[in-house]
Amino acid sequence: MEKILDRFLRYVAVDTQSNEESESQPSAEKELNLLRLLRDELLALGVEATLDEWGYVMASIPSNLDKEVPAIGFIAHVDTAPDASGADIKPQIIPDYDGSDIHLKGVPGLVLKTAEFPELLDHKGETLVTTDGTTLLGADDKAGVAEIMDAVQYLVAHPEFKHGPIKIGFTPDEEIGRGVVKFDVQKFGADYAYTMDGGDAGELEFENFNAAAASVVIQGSNVHPGYAKGKMRNALHIAQEFDALLPVAQRPEYTQDYEGFFHLISLKGTVEQASFSYIIRDHDRAKFEHKKQVIAQCADFINARYGAGTATVTVRDQYYNMRAQVEPHYHVVEKAVKAMEMAGVKPRIQPIRGGTDGANLSFRGLPCPNIFAGGLNFHGKFEWVTVENMEKAAAVIRNIISLYAE
């Protein structure tokens, strides 16, 4: 029986960063390295498992009951976010954490401070796993992957444990909004499912952002700066002007709970041309649609001021709020609440300020709320997870399986 920490460390050692500029699926060939590994580990455990051409690992454990119960799925994504490197990760392991600030040893002066991240103090006495400050950690979502695999290992090692049909799914490209674009729900075969992709212990989510990506191109006009008066249109300055048209109070750093935002995620260019990208988020569908209209109105303003064709905007929807799809099957939430209580975890039902594969799956007929995986500060160098959180998440998976078996 491999310990969950050892399993997690093996998985984060594999670089699986997805590539938002790629059109292939998976978006990065290196994602397949972990997906193949997971398929082979499942097969070695005696579990039927496949890896298809799109990078989806699907596995099935048959029921050992003498009655019919729903087939329950558990899903996690293998890719890490493009926001920070996922290569050559050097985790710091801190047993019996004492509540002090944590120096990330790969970058002198970089410190995980309890004053900035007070959630650390809730985990005194636990075993923390942090980054060394040079990369992200990959707990999003390799903690979820490790927890699911830990539960599979338990089921295989304990044939006396009663369960119905269990379905396992591992996906690529969740971090770039394409995690289940080609996922075959019918082939997966679950009646209900859970993504193990949330944050701290107790998080349970069945509503998420509506999400879109917006790309903006500014076409400028470059002439020699010594003779530029009345002729030059500096695309970089116009890009700044475009961004200034958006409401400052609706940036991520000023929003919380159900408040949506415009998030500028990249900007590059020259005097001649600049391109930049936003992600647009809101839980309320009407406000979400209005935000997309605001982006278009910004382009209209720029074009009216500097000439037609100066600003070109392309908006692409990514996923929608799954609440309306899950609520008619609210028992999936209730089962998760009870499973957490059985594991000694206090449930906290809250909206996801993000998205999961479960959002798109819920719209395709597979109700799929999201359960904590145990990590915090995702997508950056301050990411961390505790072993105890991962162990609790694995226990919740087993408890859900047990509850459905009843």
How many C-beta atoms lie closer than 10 Å to residue 72's C-beta?
23
Report the candidate in 92, 169, 163, 180 with the shortest Cα–Cα distance to residue 132. Answer: 92
- CA-CA distance, 2 to 154, in Å (whole number)? 10
Give the residue from 152, 174, 203 showing the smallest Cα distance to 31: 174
- Spatial separation of the C-alpha atoms in residues 66 and 205, rounded to whole Å: 32
Q: Copy the structure tokens of residue 25.
A: 């699926």
Contact 83, 277 (CB under 8 A): no
Query: What is the C-alpha to C-alpha distance for residues 46 and 399, in angstroms, rounded to an integer?
Result: 22
CA-based torsion, 386, 46, 15, 9: positive or negative: positive
CA angle 165, 64, 205 (to 5 degrees): 35
- Encoded tokens for 64: 């050992």
Tell me the catalytic residues: 79, 174
